[in-house]
Amino acid sequence: MNKKFVSNKDESARLFKNDIFEALSKTHWTAPLYFFIPIIIYLLYSGIIVYRIETVNSLILFFFGLLIWSATEYILHRFIFHYSPVSDYGKRLHFLFHGVHHHYPNDSGRLVMPPSLSIPLATLFYLVFQQFLGYVNNLLFSAGFLTGYLIYDILHYAIHHFKMRNKLWLFIRNHHMKHHYQNPEKGFGVSQPIWDYFFGTMFSKSQSK
């Protein structure tokens, strides 16, 4: 993927001729909070109160979900969002999914995943996890997984538009900025760089400055 951006302002290109499709491709950064927080609360309530999953098991399932999300975030970003298709249709699809973000990195309307995409994906993940974990265990696991996703989505917006002074948040922000402006083939972790260290996609010492 070309690391050069088209505009560093809060603006973007029109992606669809159809006004409805164009509107669905954008979302306010608070939209995931309104939709996913009630779902997470419901999953936690069902698992802990209704099905009375023991505290230790609840914590294990929840934090395992968080861990799996962090790996999913890395895998999706590295191997799906940065896949380089050959066909014109593939290139168009790739641009819609992620290329536009690298061309217009500060477009506030396309920094969090729109519900038109996040809801079907979340449903698909939930159903897949349920096949392996069963209905009850999946309640707490998916609560952790969706919490991880929500952290990622909101933090991604914050990285591009909020002022950060805390050293940890500044480190995470700088990590993502290097991915945009120095080397888009490194630094695929957005909410954290753990898997970049693990899989050898961390920035070189010269790029870490």
**Rounded distance between C-alpha atoms, residue 77 and residue 100, angstroms:** 14
Q: Are 27 and 114 in contact (CB under 8 A)?
A: yes
pLDDT band at 116 (very low <50, low <70, confident <90, very high): confident
Query: pLDDT tens digit string along 135-163?
Result: 999 999 999 999 999 999 999 999 999 88
Q: Stretch 74-95: mean pLDDT, rounded?
A: 89
Q: Are 27 and 112 in contact (CB under 8 A)?
A: yes
Q: Stretch 195-209: mean pLDDT, rounded?
A: 82
pLDDT at 206 over 70: no
pLDDT at 175 over 90: yes
**Rounded distance between C-alpha atoms, residue 189 and residue 179, angstroms:** 9
Determine the pLDDT at residue 66. 97
Determine the pLDDT at residue 1. 46
pLDDT band at 205 (very low <50, low <70, confident <90, very high): confident
Query: pLDDT tens digit string along 28-52?
Result: 999 999 999 999 999 999 999 999 9
Taking residue 73's Cβ as centre, other Cβ atoms within 10 Å add up to: 22
Tokens of 119: 């809801």
Highest mean pLDDT among 17-26, 138-147, 180-189, 200-209: 138-147
